């Protein structure tokens, strides 16, 4: 994380303009002394526990906003999803659509709830969704599934590591038995081994039913580690249930080689006349823009080539009770355009869609309502939700790249985010 010499000098000059070096050093030094009370109550959501937390902070107006009557009436429903509860934050939810998905599991027209504070986002995804629907919809398919946990084991030397690897390869059936005893829905499907000197990483891959599954695979892997500790003749010096090889909540180079959650690909062939009518550009210009963006992504070192998968996924994850931090890996993917017989072929591939329709935050009142809008709440719906996610990302890519090609991008933000006058064609066309 280097800084240009001139930038560093300018930053230091600003810091020293109001304080001398001794004052800055004193400000940055540790300050031992009395420790304020810790936040009480753990996961309790009783009136008394909530009041004790609010007593810590002098913010009566904030209490009214965070703990309004509706929140207080249903606070018990948050008990398993939050600790130190003091209220809820309201995020506006808009509908994007209709989005027609022709998938292996998702089939039909969807109005997609998106929670965001970013103006123009829902309008853009709605425009792209409507474009795809007019073109007959997008084809979307779940191609692979799996969630992994990667415990790490340390030994005295490489010889012990090798003996441990040999033992583990002979006991996969036992690992499967103890892991699946911890869950009704999780299944251990594979184990990958990485040996690095006196360290061994075991990457256990599971299917997780209709749950996103992070907690499920953690508990199952913990049971495997306990079995190893009890039965393996080569005793590790120490081990950890997760050693950062799984790609959990981060973009990684292995994203395109493996799967985390669900790997999904979506495509559509959009007629040139629709591109011209709805996006006010041409398939050829869209491909030109995509080609330049692809090179820009390579030059900047991005993982994958796409415009803004994170925008749509974050908004959908927030609305539908998903683990929003998983956008870090879910938004890794590629978008690709081609001119095909004068029309625009567009596709997206996302190898790490981490979504579930049971467990986690999916049962909370507002989040379940959003899943109900999609018709994707409860068991048997997670694969369909993943295919809708891919379709939504495709819609967002078409809309934002079309806006860049036509010049609508900045005009739309000026109109919707700042409320200022924009050209009539932007209001009537870019966000209809």
Which positions are catalytic?
118, 323, 413
- Scanning the structure block, which residue is given the tokens 């599954």? 213
**Beta bridge pairs of residue 261:** 146
DSSP 169-199: HT-HHHHHHHHHTT-SS-EEEEEEEEEETTE
What values do phi and psi take at 181, rounded to 5? -75, -15
Cα gap 247→201, rounded to integer Å: 13
How many residues comprise the chain?
Answer: 432
Q: CA quadruple 284, 285, 289, 292: dihedral positive or negative?
A: positive
Written as one string, the DSSP assignment of 86-137 is: -------EEEEEEEEEEESS-EEEEEEEEE-S-TTHHHHHHHHHHHHHHTT-
Main-chain dihedrals φ then ψ at residue 88, nearest 5 degrees: -135, 155
Q: Would you state the structure tokens that stand for residue 225, as one six-digit string?
A: 């580690």
Instruction: Classify burial at 246, counting beta carbons within 10 Å of its beta carbon; exposed 0-12, middle 13-18, buried 19 or more.
Output: buried
Question: In this structure, what DSSP letter does residue 38 have?
Answer: P
How far apart, in whole angstroms, are the C-alpha atoms of residue 252 and residue 250?
Answer: 6
Query: Is the peptide bond preceding residue 98 cis, with omega within 30 degrees of 0?
Result: yes
């Amino acid at each position: 994380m280097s800084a240009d010499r001139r930038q560093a000098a300018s930053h230091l000059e600003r810091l020293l303009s109001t304080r001398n070096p001794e004052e800055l050093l004193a400000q940055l030094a540790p300050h031992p002394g009395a420790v304020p009370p810790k936040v009480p109550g753990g996961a309790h959501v009783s009136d008394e526990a909530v009041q004790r937390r609010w007593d810590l902070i002098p913010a009566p107006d904030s209490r009214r906003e965070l703990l309004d009557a509706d929140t207080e009436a249903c606070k018990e429903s948050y008990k398993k999803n939050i600790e130190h509860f003091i209220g809820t934050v309201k995020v506006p939810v808009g509908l994007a659509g209709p989005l027609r998905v022709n998938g292996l599991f998702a089939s039909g027209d969807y109005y997609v709830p998106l929670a965001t504070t970013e103006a123009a986002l829902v309008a853009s995804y709605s425009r792209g969704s409507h474009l795809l629907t007019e073109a007959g919809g997008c084809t979307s398919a779940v191609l692979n599934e799996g969630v992994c946990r990667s415990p790490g084991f340390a030994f005295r030397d490489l010889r012990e590591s090798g003996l441990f690897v040999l033992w583990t390869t002979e006991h996969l059936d036992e690992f499967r038995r103890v892991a699946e005893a911890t869950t009704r829905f999780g299944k251990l499907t594979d184990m990958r081994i990485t040996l690095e000197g006196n360290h061994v990483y075991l990457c256990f891959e599971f299917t997780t039913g209709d749950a996103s599954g992070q907690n499920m695979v953690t508990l199952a892997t913990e049971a495997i580690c306990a079995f190893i500790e009890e039965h393996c003749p080569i005793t590790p010096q120490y081990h950890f249930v997760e050693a950062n090889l799984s790609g959990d909540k981060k973009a990684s180079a292995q994203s395109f080689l493996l799967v985390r959650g669900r790997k999904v690909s979506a495509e559509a062939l959009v007629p040139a006349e629709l591109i011209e009518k709805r996006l006010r550009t041409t398939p050829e210009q869209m491909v030109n823009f995509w080609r330049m963006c692809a090179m820009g992504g390579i030059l900047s070192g991005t993982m994958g080539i796409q415009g803004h998968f994170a925008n749509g996924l974050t908004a959908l994850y927030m609305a539908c009770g998903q683990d929003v931090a998983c956008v870090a890996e879910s938004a890794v993917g590629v978008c690709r355009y081609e001119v095909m017989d004068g029309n625009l072929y567009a596709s997206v591939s996302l190898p790490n869609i981490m979504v579930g329709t049971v467990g986690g935050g999916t049962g909370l009142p507002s989040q379940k309502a959003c899943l109900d809008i999609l018709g994707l709440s409860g068991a048997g719906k997670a694969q369909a939700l993943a295919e809708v996610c891919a379709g939504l990302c495709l819609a967002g890519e078409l809309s934002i790249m079309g806006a860049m090609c036509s010049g609508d991008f900045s005009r739309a933000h000026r109109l919707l985010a700042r409320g200022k006058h924009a050209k009539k064609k932007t209001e009537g066309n870019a966000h209809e």
